Amino acid sequence: MSYSTVWQPLQQRLSSVIVGQERLLERLLIGLLGRGHVLLEGAPGLAKTTAVKVLSQAVNLDFVRIQFTPDLMPSDITGSEVLDKDTGMMRFVPGPLFHQLTLADEINRAPPKVQSALLEAMAEGQVSVGGQTYALDPLFFVVATQNPLEHSGTYPLPEAQMDRFMLHVALDFPSQEQELVILQRARSGVLSQPLPPSTLSLADLQQARAGVERLHMDVSIQRYLVALISATRAPEQVHESLRDTVLVPASPRATLALAQAVCARAFLHGRDYVTPDDVVNLLPDVLRHRLHLSAKARAQQLSVDAWVNRVLDSVKLAH
C-alpha cells in the first residue's frame, strides 16, 4: 500500500530536516496531493523556503524559486516572445512558471500586476503571451510565501484572486526546545546538505492523488462542510454574537477546497475516510484568506481564527 511504503517515510524524511512545523509540512503535502496551491504566511526565518526546497527534493519535482521583488515584471515569470536571430521570427521563451513546483517567495513584495499574472496562471493552468496561450505542466503546483502585512514595502494581494489558493497557512515560532534542535542540526551540517535522491515516482504521486479523489466522505461530513461554509453567509443564524461580522463570505469554491483538503489530510494520516477532526483542523486555513470580516468585527478585535472557533463551537455534526 502506497501510504506506509511511500508517504509515511516521506513525512519522516521531511521531519529529519525541518524541526517541528508539522502544520507547515502537512499543509505542503495536502496541497500536493489535493491539487491545491498553498500560501504560507509567517515572519522571515521560519523555514518556509527550506521546507519547500526539501519537499521538491523529497518528491522529485522539477523545482524553481522565484524571488518576488518590487522591480519584477509579469514577463519575468510567464516568459516572453523574443526575436530569433536565425529565423527572423518571434519565438516564445518560457519563464520560470513552466516548472512543476514553483516557490513564489515573498509574493507581496512584487507589485499587483505580477501577483495577478501568477494568480491567473494558477487559476487557468496556462499563460497567455502575445495572443498565444501556453499550457503549464500538468503537475503545476505553487507554494507562495508572504511576509506578515505589517512589514513595510509590501503590496497586499488582490483580494478577489486570493481564493486560487486552497490553503492559507499561518506559521508560528518554534519552542525553545525546538530551536535548540534547529541549532544543533545547523551545526552538524544537516541543514545545508541536500537530501539523498528520492525514489518517489510520478506514478506514486498520481496514485496518491487518485486515492485522495476516491477517499470516502460520509454524507454527514459533506453536510457539515456545507453548514460551516454557509455560516459565512448568515453568521447570525449560527450565533447572535456573529451578526454583521462578515463583509465578504466564502463561495462554493471554499467548500470544494475544504473537501479536497480534508481528503488529502485523511490520506496522510493513513485513513481511507474523513473524520470531523480533519474538518476542524483545516477550516481556519481554508477561510483565512477568503473570509473578510466587517469593520464591526475588527472593532471587536475578532480575528478570522476566533470567528472560526465560534462557528465550530456552534455548528455540530448531525448524524
Ligand X SMILES: Nc1ncnc2c1ncn2[C@@H]1O[C@H](COP(=O)(O)OP(=O)(O)O)[C@@H](O)[C@H]1O
Q: Which stretch binds Mg ion (CB under 5 A): 41-49, 76-84, 127-135, 241-249?
A: 41-49
Q: How far is the CB of 23 from ligand X (least distance, A)?
A: 11
Binders in 269-288 for ligand X, by CB under 6 A: none
Q: Judged by CB under 6 A, which of 64, 191, 256, 280 binds ligand X?
A: 191
Q: How far is the CB of 49 from ligand X (least distance, A)?
A: 3
Cα 314 to Cα 126, 309, 319: the distances in Å are 41, 9, 15
What x/- string results for residues 138 through 177 when contact with ligand X is judged by CB under 6 A? Answer: ------------------------------------x---
Is 49 one of the binding residues for Mg ion (CB under 5 A)?
yes
20 binds, among Mg ion, ligand X, none (CB under 5 to 8 A by kind): ligand X
Taking a C-beta distance cutoff of 8 angstroms, is the pair 72, 61 a contact?
no
Is 197 one of the binding residues for ligand X (CB under 6 A)?
no
What x/- string results for residues 19 through 48 when contact with ligand X is judged by CB under 6 A? Answer: xxx----------------------xxxxx
Residue 224 burial (C-beta neighbours within 10 Å; 0-12, 13-18, 19+): buried
112 binds, among ligand X, Mg ion, none (CB under 5 to 8 A by kind): none
Q: How far is the CB of 177 from Mg ion (least distance, A)?
A: 23
What are the residues binding ligand X (CB under 6 A)? 18-21, 44-50, 174, 182, 191
What are the residues binding Mg ion (CB under 5 A)? 49
